[in-house]
Structure 1
Amino acid sequence: MSTLGQEVAVTAASIVVSAAGHRYLYLRLVKNVTASVRLHRAGQAAAVALTALVPAGVLAAEYANPTRIAWLARPAFGWVALAAYLLMILAVLEIPKRLMARALGRRANDPDTAVKAEQVPGAAQFPSSAAPMPAENTGCRPGTDTSRMVDRRLVLARSVALLATGTAMATTGYGFHRGLGPPDVKTVRVALRRLHPSLDGMRITMASDLHLGPFFGRTHTARMVRMINDTSPSLVAIVGDLSDGSAEDLGTHAEPLARLSSAHGTFFVTGNHDYRHDIDAWIGTLADYGVTTLRNTRSLIAHRGGAIDLAGVTDVEGERNHDAPDYDKALADRDRSHPVVLLAHQPVQVHEAARHEVDLQLSGHTHGGGFFPGNLLVPLTQPVTAGLATIDNTQLYVSRGVGASLPPIRVGAPPDITVIELRGV
């Protein structure tokens, strides 16, 4: 299938999924909680509009100038986040809700307490599976057990809807506050073999996943630069996914990177999102800002008789753009008397790094899972979700990143800037 055909198929699938999700939300949050025909029509219209909003926002974020379509992308992805939590919470509440509804039904059918349907005019027109509604609209006599059952089911449906809506709004609001707010600053000590005593305490301040675009712009970059400079880094590493747009559209939003200050400079490697637009244009723009791109290359970082090799490989997505990671090129013929630190966007690249006897790999990409259930999905494709681990004798540190993919919410996975403090063994 051609690239265009794949994109059409993905768009069509997203519309189908969006429509199914919005129908479910309409049933649980509108139809099942009110008998008002006017509110039913309003809910149906809202479901149709939101079904269209989601793919429109996704396509706009993918193909349009992010700074010009923020008015569309922000509400679209804000709703995506809220709807995701609504669906998850409602799904979880389905089981207790059904159990309680079944208990109410059994009570209504108890011959010692229930009124037979034929004794209640209109009661037979209200099957137990139908949407609950006020007793006066069902033909049930006020005060009968059948009318009380209807009232209790209505209260149950409304309680579930209110609980789900309140919880989802609070969680989404917190997620946006955390995701768009300042990242945490962490210090992680990493012991390296063969590290010269003069480099003991060397500080590599790393940031990943800026994701410049509809939600993150120049202000976001400037704040990150100030926070990095406050760590007094020996060198700065930007580990991929700089942008969700082109250098032409967003280059000025990356300009504060020119003010990064460190003893040995600022280095960048590509991430998968960076290949969605002209990567060469971005590399040229970063060079103008004093940022060195390690494109299957390495740089010797020497200090007072000691040295480390700082290497970088392109992201695995580069294979589709004739820019595949080349570990042999980046790591061959190095001086093995001192350690090598590899910058690679995706943690999964550590397996190849280990085969080349890399001492430490620094990565991003995962966002720490971002928000539930992302933390459960990351291990399906990556060896580490966040933090420090050892894979086949190579140490791997994975940052949660300073930005986020769309939607930019963080729940249980706060953004971070990490200071890697090198220590000798």
Structure 2
Amino acid sequence: MSGPVHHTDHTDPAAALGAELADVPAPRSGPRRVTFAVVGVVAVALLFGVPWWLLVVNGQEWPGWLVAVGTVAPAGMALAFPVLMARGHARGSDRASLVADTTLGVIWVVFTWSIIGSLVGLALAVAGVDNPGRARWVTLGVLVVSAILLAHGHFEAMRVPRVRRTEVRIPRLGPGLDGLRLVLLADTHYGPIDRSRWSEKTVAAVNALEPDVVAHAGDIADGRVAEREPQSRHLGDVRAALARVYVTGNHEYYSQAQEWLDHMADLGWEALHNRHVVIERDGSRMVVAGTDDRTAHGSGLPGHAADVPQALAGADPDLPVLLLAHQPKQVDEAVAAGVDLQVSGHTHGGQIWPFHWLVRTEQPWLQGLTRLNDRTALYTTRGAGFWGPPFRVFAPSEISLLVLRTG
């Protein structure tokens, strides 16, 4: 059960009117559509073509039947992949999504290690190892390493997240809140794979930490509430001494964000839709605020937009502030507002190496604790679940236990 919370609600009443926005992608202009299609075709051609070239016809001198199989199979997968992605993610077929997402994860890992394998092959060539032996051994190595990483990555994606404990010093934190246990969840991404049992076990792991505050920083699910309710219902069993708080992520805005806000409220969570509450323990108080995801404004939902000033409107400026914001890059607004600690998710820690490096181009803070200045700190969780490919490679999931300490 949640403990004492002082409500300070500054939500725009018009927000509730946007609940029935159709879950349809924004229309694209003609030139943008063509550019998008060309980029997609090139990306698919590279993802499937590079491994084919490096593993099948790059000096291996395989028997003809093996070359035929090694050519027809990836070509068929490449042709089916866009169709499955469209049926899955645009039209809502869970079966198509699962096949397409798994294919994406597998081909990404094989593509990555094919590139690495080609560099190993160059080193072996310099060392005087000739083909076809050199190319065949490289191919075997790439396939073995990829299979091991994919098997382990799937295990990591499906397991109950490990607890990652971090102490965070907040100079303005009152002595009564010293040692406050904040458990951070994000990116549960309930989706095509039924993870009801996983959800139940994850909630049990959260409760075992005896948290004072539990925060969910968005991306609960991929799909609407009616589709994912059997998996998400277990969030209603989360226990916290002081508060359970939630903000939207970008994926809520693909799946009727207002429905998810209402659903979390029905489960007993404080939906911090550009608003805040105040928690208190032993005479010390803290503002716990939340803001919409930065993509909210583009969703077209009335009253939905990231608005940190609105979230903090009416808050006592002398109290420390904990801010929930789905994306780490929203910390710029937090710094400007004098927030003491922002907690975020979104990055998945990269999820499948070396996608980490691409994520960093969009989100400079990939995971862990970062001190922005003397006032503001940022904690980015790698998230509890996964999006799309059911794999986590060198980016394990986590339940983040943040122990807050006075300065």
TM-score range, shorter chain: 0.7 to 0.9
Query: Where does residue 310 of structure 2 map in the other structure?
Result: 329
Farther off after superposition, 394-403 or 330-339? 330-339
**Residue of 282, 287, 297 corresponding to 1:304:** 282
Q: Quote the residue 1:239 is aligned against.
A: 217
Instruction: State yes or no: 1:69 paired with 2:94.
Output: yes
Letter in 2 for 1:49: G
Gaps of 5+ in 2: 1-25
Q: Select the residue among 271, 276, 285 that pairs with 1:293.
A: 271
Residue 363 (str. 1) matches residue 344 (str. 2) = yes
Query: Does the aligned pair in 1 maintain the 2:185–2:384 contact within 8 Å?
Result: yes
Alignment match, 1:37: 64
Q: Does structure 2 retain, via aligned residues, the 8 Å contact 1:15–1:52?
A: no
TM superposition shift of 1:40: 2.8
Q: Looking at both structures, which has the greater relative contact order when contacts are Cα pairs under 8 Å and sequence separation is at least 6?
A: 2
Which residue of 48, 56, 60 corresponds with 2:83? 56
Aligned to 1:412: 394
Residues 261-305 of structure 1 show CA distances to partners (whole Å, capped at 9, x for unaligned) of: 112232110111111111111212222211221010000112232
The aligned residue for residue 17 of structure 2 is none
Inter-partner Cα distance in structure 1 for 2:240 and 2:214: 7
Displacement of 1:4 = 7.4
**What is the Cα deviation at residue 34 of structure 1?**
4.0
Q: Are the equivalent residues in 1 in contact too, given 2:89–2:97 (CA < 8 A)?
A: no
The answer to whether the 8 Å contact 1:80/1:407 transfers is yes
**Are 1:223 and 2:249 matched, yes or no?**
no
Q: 1:174 aligns with which of 141, 145, 152?
A: 152
Deviation at 1:159, TM superposition (A): 0.9
Unaligned runs of 5+ in 1: 105-148
Cross-structure match for 2:170 = 192
Cα distance between partner residues in 2 of 1:206 and 1:99: 45
* Distance (Å, rounded) in 2 between the aligned partners of 1:327 and 1:236: 20
Structure 2 equivalent of residue 259 of structure 1:
237
Identity %: 30
One-letter amino acid matched to 1:28: L
Distance 1:236 1:28, change over 3 A: same
1:163 to 124, 134, 141: 141
Residue correspondence of structure 1 range 103-182 to structure 2 within 5 A = 152-182=130-160
Instruction: Say if 2:50 and 2:114, in contact at 8 Å, map to a contact too.
Output: no
SS in 2 for 1:153: coil
1:11–1:55: 8 Å Cα contact kept in structure 2? no
Root mean square deviation of aligned Cα: 2.3
Query: Given the two structures, how large is their TM-score scaled by the length of structure 2?
Result: 0.86
Give 3-state SS (helix, strand or coil) of 2:295's partner: helix
Please give the alpha-carbon distance, in whole angstroms, between the structure 2 residues aligned to 1:397 and 1:95.
Answer: 36
1:79 match? 103
The worse-fitting range, judged by mean Cα deviation, of 306-315 and 295-304 is 295-304
Q: 1:318 aligns with which of 291, 296, 314?
A: 296
Q: Letter of the 2:40 partner, please give it.
A: S
* 1:3 matched to 2:28: yes
Of 279-288 and 29-38, deviating more is: 29-38
Which residue of 1 is the match for residue 49 of structure 2? Answer: 23
Partners of 2:270 and 2:127 in 1: CA distance: 67
